[in-house]
Structure 1
Amino acid sequence: MTETIAIIPARSGSKSVKDKNLANLCGYPLIAYSIVAAKLSTVVERVVVSTDSDDYKQVSEYFGAEVPFLRPQKFAQDNSTDRGFLLHAMEWMKEMEGNVPEYWVHLRPTTPLREPVLIDNAVEKIRAERRATSLRSGHKSPENPLKWFTKDTHSFYQPILKDDGSERYNQPKEAFPQVYVPNGYVDVVLASQIMRSETTHGNQILSFDTPVSCEVDSPDELDYLRYQLQKDGSVLLTYLKENFPIYYKEQN
């Protein structure tokens, strides 16, 4: 019985970068990196892609993922939540397979460069902490948002952290608690949490520290990832080159 499954969301219709999940990253579609990261994990037993697109389905299967269903359009809108596609996948497996894995490793294609060993470490960490309702990855914020401001209707700054007159926002960053940026490197959600409540992550979110990671939301970030791969390489790109012919002949 499968206990740990990787799920990779890949809806079509991205507006920031057209067909972002298939964007060319050093000869391979963006989504291929997340599929390969899951396949190279030693704890992930199945790799499933949730998509609303036949084209994405074909590409995902080519790189070794399962696409046993197509995601309904109501879960593939700009304002659709993670909970929608996760619950749909869980309920599909319950109905069609009679088994719902407990640990769901949520890998977003837009954060493509991962170390598979960190996926393993994340799953092992949440398995060891029975109080956790989920696990989310993050990296240390280089700046502390508790020192930041919003702007009121008269164009005056208002401190995010309510001020008692001491101008706390002018204190050094060391005076504030460390803040972490959730980065989509590797999140783990529990079927028992999602299917028995109205929440996705619950109130006991286990932390998991990762290196700073770039999330693709613009062509500039794709260019940066290409530079990063050319400079530092990646076990994922090495695997792709060794196991698949070049998918794209030229960079976009």
Structure 2
Amino acid sequence: PIRPRDCVDRAVRLLLEHPDADCVRGVVPAGQNPHKMWRIDEATGRMTPLLSVPGIAEPYNAPRQILPPVYWQTGHIDAIRPATILEKNSMTGEAIYALLIDPRYTVDLDNPRDWAKAEWVVRFGGLEMVHPDAAPRPMPERVALLVLDFDGVLTDNRVWTDQEGRESVASNRSDSHGLELLRRAGIEAVVISKERNPVVAARCKKIGVPHFQGVDDKATLLKKLLAERGVEASQVVYVGNDVNDLPCFPLVGWAVAVADAHPEALRRADYVLSRRGGHGAVRELCDLILAHR
């Protein structure tokens, strides 16, 4: 699933450059050397080496650096001539040429842990790869404005309600300090929230961040806000956690989701933070922006 952008073009080019080739198959250097692998006799428990190497008596005891290089087929790409399939009744034929692929692109999906590894590589691997949607955008060179959702970003998305109907939320003090550091660096922040409870105004007043609450159409307000402030959309970072934040993602230069965001927000964000909303996610983002300056 993680394929270099030039993978298909390189495979076709290689096939065209070698008229004798039946197919081209993608391979990477093998992570495990088969010269150090064994077969076990189930009856006796005795082991015999899987492979031998001419000129090396005991390859399984030899340094791997002196053993023949071996390659593993990854499933990234097979470029096959029609005649190989139609006339030779084969998916490869006999003349198989190698397309060497950077092993960083290699992920086997056999269990949920492999899936988690693949998602990490896609998000944080820094690879130039084929994306089914638009490729994630990098952080803008200059950030002029940070726009934040409230619930699930500055809070942990939970709410406590007492017997009188009063609501309370939990937030993180490190987030407010991160926003203060941004202000000192000349980067403003603003909160846009669908929540109508007065707790939004109270918390935003405490941390000194302008806010708009009770907003059902965040995208329209965001466009109006940028126009009024004269801020370039490409210099705006938006951080959200739910589907009502998604219309704002393409309107800014960098769309960010907290670690525990809705799956669709995670999929469409340019960047996913490692921390959850209300647990230092905003501070993490502030530190990233400041470190990027």
TM-score (norm 1): 0.49
- Considering only CA atoms, is the larger Rg found in Structure 1 or Structure 2? 2
How high is the TM-score relative to the length of structure 2? 0.42
